[in-house]
Amino acid sequence: MERTTFCGIIAFHFPKNVEILSVPKDAHLANASGRHNSTYRREGDAVTVHRSFRDQTPGPVRTPADDREFRIHPRHILRDLRAQVLYQ
């Protein structure tokens, strides 16, 4: 069965007079139903975010057990999407 993978990269470039105070911690979650990874990298006046999700559901239909495993991912991903870069 072919697996579905979603990937995204976004870069935020800040003006030179803006101080970046902190970036979110990397986020990782892996279980039988999928794998989510986010990394945050600060390089000078830019912050780059890499996000990926790979669906690892064993077949075309999820069992109730598969669904329980999969339901963890949206909560984890939404928490990661709400993470903030602090600057002044």
Could you list the pLDDT tens digit for every one of the 88 residues in the chain?
567 899 999 999 999 999 999 999 999 999 988 999 999 999 999 999 999 999 888 777 888 888 888 889 999 999 999 999 999 9
Give the model's pLDDT for residue 56.
87
Domain of 75? 4-87
- The structure's pTM equals 0.84
Domain total for the chain? 1
Give the model's pLDDT for residue 65.
85
Cβ-proximal residues to 60 (8 Å cutoff; 6+ apart), any chain: 1
**C-beta of residue 72 within 8 angstroms of C-beta of residue 30:** no
